[in-house]
């Protein structure tokens, strides 16, 4: 039997798959009862369910109870909202968690995901009506049909004014636009500058290709469109600039420099408001620079900062060196402590290699955040552990404030606290995933330390 809370269906493992199997739109909220954001949106979600009756079915599922379903759909935070149809996820919701935005999202989802062009005249009208946008035109799709629909809904939701999707059954209609014959089950991209590209690869690669292809040559990176860039596997060039100041020459230079990189896809080019995104500027280490230029890799949190005197030629040379792998990532580091004689050693970005990767020592390193409750709870345990084992000269217990310092790429933290263990004789660390009592740490060190003496 299907339970309801007002007009919201309550899902569990027994009814979830039957709920999402329908032909229509099923909008699912994965939540946790203790989550503040989930509590805040309860009434917006319920009221949206009432207003959307007949258009979509709204469903909620407690992901802390139905852990297998949460794992299947990769729910790692709360709340997460996904749109289903015929049992498949067709879009991940990225908007604000308010009734009005839920309704707009569903109304957009009800629109055809692509304009069907029956002949060459209809295709020409589609292209003319959407001039200046990134156009994705599907040619007689088969294996790409599902991902094309999902990508259409995703990109249209994030940037509805800059993308348009169409489909044709006769690939001959596309020859003039593409400049060549296209195979069935392929997608033609016509960019805003009328340059083109064709996708006929594996479906798993389509969404990433389309996301990059949908981006303007050089555009603003903002809170509203951040999702377009943060999920890319591509490095993102960012000019941080004050909106009250004019950098026309710099922006003109970047627009020109960006053109050759567009077809290669080596990186994408953006600018951002350094006032609105002050915290991001601080994170990448350029809060005191104006203007500032950074190439940033979101997935690995790697930062490459342009330094030295600015000129168009110098900037282009620096980007060329980045593309060929000849630019080193910047390392954020607090000042090196003048003294470091407490039982738990202080690590900063500039001392990680020297202390953590010292092959003569066994090293247990914690990355923490000053505001993290779990880190605060762990601190006295590590202090006691280090004090008890201070006589073991081959052992180092250490900590690093990961909000003020960068670990090497391989050890970047995604949550707090994060612990790694580096056994003596090796510069490669392994994640520590054991218990967090003093006894748990002692047991682990006895079993895994290279130097066994003193425990």
Is the domain of 227 the same as that of 319? yes
* Active-site hit among 10, 15, 35, 350: 35
Is the domain of 103 the same as that of 127? no
Rounded-to-integer distance, Cα 79 and Cα 73, Å: 13
Q: What is the pLDDT of residues 281-321, one digit of tens each?
A: 988 888 888 789 999 999 888 999 998 889 999 999 999 99
CB of 420 closer than 8 Å to CB of 432:
yes
> What pTM, to 2 d.p., does this model score?
0.68
Residue that terminates a domain, selected from 258, 292, 324:
324
Is the domain of 124 the same as that of 191? yes
Residue 400: C-alpha distances to residues 15, 105, 184, 343, 349 (Å): 46, 42, 54, 14, 8
Higher pLDDT, 120 or 160: 120
**Is 281 part of any domain?**
yes
Residue that terminates a domain, selected from 171, 195, 214:
214
* Active-site hit among 184, 203, 219, 372: 372
pLDDT at 246 over 80: no
pLDDT at 355 over 60: yes
Predicted confidence band of residue 2 (pLDDT cuts 50, 70, 90): low
Is the domain of 205 the same as that of 294? no
Rounded-to-integer distance, Cα 100 and Cα 389, Å: 58
Q: 213 CB contacts (<8 Å, ≥6 apart)? A: 134, 136, 189, 191, 197
**Is 300 part of any domain?**
yes
pLDDT at 180 over 50: yes
pLDDT at 3: 64
**Is 454 part of any domain?**
no
pLDDT at 124: 92
Is the domain of 71 the same as that of 140? no
Which CATH number fits the domain that encloses residue 173?
Answer: 3.40.30.10
Is the domain of 295 the same as that of 278? yes
The residue whose two tokens read 């005197």 is 309
DSSP 308: S
Average of per-residue pLDDT across 33-49: 94
Is the domain of 226 the same as that of 247? yes
Rounded-to-integer distance, Cα 277 and Cα 299, Å: 18
> Is 117 part of the annotated catalytic residue set?
no
CB of 382 closer than 8 Å to CB of 432:
no
**Number of independent structural domains in the chain:** 4
Rounded-to-integer distance, Cα 10 and Cα 141, Å: 36
Q: What is the pLDDT of residues 192-243, one digit of tens each?
A: 888 888 998 888 889 888 888 888 889 899 887 887 788 788 899 999 998 8
**Is 455 part of any domain?**
no
Average of per-residue pLDDT across 137-141: 90
pLDDT at 1 over 50: no
- What is the H or E stretch that residue 17 is in? helix 16-20
Is the domain of 356 the same as that of 273? no
* Active-site hit among 75, 286, 375, 392: 375
Average of per-residue pLDDT across 342-368: 96
Is the domain of 358 the same as that of 434? yes
- Burial tier of 323 (Cβ tally within 10 Å: 0-12, 13-18, 19+): middle
Is the domain of 66 the same as that of 147? no
**Is 399 part of any domain?**
yes
Percent of the residues in the chain that have a pLDDT greater than 70, as a whole number: 99
The whole domain housing 83 covers: 3-110
**Is 313 part of any domain?**
yes
Is the domain of 79 the same as that of 123? no
Q: What is the pLDDT of residues 103-117, one digit of tens each?
A: 999 998 898 889 999
Q: What is the pLDDT of residues 360-418, one digit of tens each?
A: 999 999 999 999 999 999 999 999 999 999 999 999 999 999 999 999 989 998 889 99
Phi, psi for 41 (deg, rounded to 5): -95, 5
Q: 264 CB contacts (<8 Å, ≥6 apart)? A: none
The residue whose two tokens read 């950098």 is 247
CB of 185 closer than 8 Å to CB of 242:
no
DSSP 356: I
The overall average pLDDT reported for the chain is 91
Rounded-to-integer distance, Cα 432 and Cα 41, Å: 36
**Is 387 part of any domain?**
yes
Rounded-to-integer distance, Cα 316 and Cα 238, Å: 14
Residue that terminates a domain, selected from 188, 214, 240:
214
**Is 336 part of any domain?**
no
How many CB atoms lie under 10 A from the CB of residue 295? 23
* Active-site hit among 11, 25, 28, 38: 38
pLDDT at 393: 92
Q: 32 CB contacts (<8 Å, ≥6 apart)? A: 38, 62, 63, 64, 78, 79
- Burial tier of 151 (Cβ tally within 10 Å: 0-12, 13-18, 19+): buried
> Is 372 part of the annotated catalytic residue set?
yes
Rounded-to-integer distance, Cα 13 and Cα 4, Å: 15
Is the domain of 51 the same as that of 147? no
């Amino acid at each position: 039997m299907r339970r309801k809370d007002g007009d919201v269906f309550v899902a569990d493992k027994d009814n979830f798959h039957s709920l999402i199997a329908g032909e229509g739109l099923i909008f699912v909220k994965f939540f946790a009862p203790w989550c503040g954001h989930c509590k805040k949106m309860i009434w917006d979600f319920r009221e949206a369910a009432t207003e959307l009756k007949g258009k979509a079915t709204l469903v909620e599922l407690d992901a802390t109870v139905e852990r297998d379903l949460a794992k299947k759909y990769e729910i790692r935070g709360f709340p997460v909202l996904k749109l289903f149809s015929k049992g498949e996820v067709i879009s991940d919701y990225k908007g604000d968690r308010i009734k009005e935005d839920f309704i707009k999202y569903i109304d957009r989802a009800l629109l055809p995901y692509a304009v069907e062009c029956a002949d060459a005249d209809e295709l020409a009208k589609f292209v003319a009506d959407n001039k200046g946008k990134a156009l994705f035109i599907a040619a007689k799709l088969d294996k790409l049909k599902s991902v094309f629909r999902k990508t259409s809904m995703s990109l249209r939701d994030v940037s509805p004014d800059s993308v348009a999707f169409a489909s044709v059954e006769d690939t001959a209609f596309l020859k003039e636009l593409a400049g060549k014959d296209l195979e069935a089950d392929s997608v033609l991209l016509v960019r805003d500058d009328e340059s083109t590209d064709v996708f006929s690869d594996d479906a798993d690669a389509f969404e990433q290709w389309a996301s990059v292809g949908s981006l303007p040559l050089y555009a603003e990176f903002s809170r509203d469109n951040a999702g377009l860039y943060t999920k890319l596997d591509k490095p993102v060039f960012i000019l941080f600039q004050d909106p009250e100041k004019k950098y026309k020459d710099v922006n003109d230079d970047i627009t020109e420099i960006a053109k050759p990189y567009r077809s290669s896809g080596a990186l994408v080019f953006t600018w951002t408001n350094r006032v609105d995104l002050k915290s991001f500027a601080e994170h990448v280490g350029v809060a005191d620079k104006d203007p500032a230029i950074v190439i940033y890799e979101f997935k690995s949190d790697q930062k490459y900062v342009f330094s030295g005197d600015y000129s168009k030629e110098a900037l282009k040379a620096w980007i060329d060196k980045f593309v060929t792998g000849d630019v080193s990532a910047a390392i954020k580091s607090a000042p090196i402590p003048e003294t470091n004689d407490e039982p738990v050693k202080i690590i900063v970005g500039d001392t990680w290699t020297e202390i953590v990767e010292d092959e003569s020592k066994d090293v247990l390193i914690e990355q923490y955040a000053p505001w993290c409750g779990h880190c605060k709870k762990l601190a006295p345990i590590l202090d006691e552990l280090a004090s008890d084992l201070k006589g073991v000269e081959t052992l180092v217990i250490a900590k690093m404030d990961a909000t003020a310092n960068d670990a090497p790429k391989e050890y970047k933290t995604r949550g707090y606290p994060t612990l790694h263990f580096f056994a003596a004789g090796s510069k490669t660390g392994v994640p520590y995933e054991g218990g967090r009592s003093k006894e748990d740490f002692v047991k682990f060190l006895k079993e895994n330390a290279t130097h066994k003496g003193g425990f």
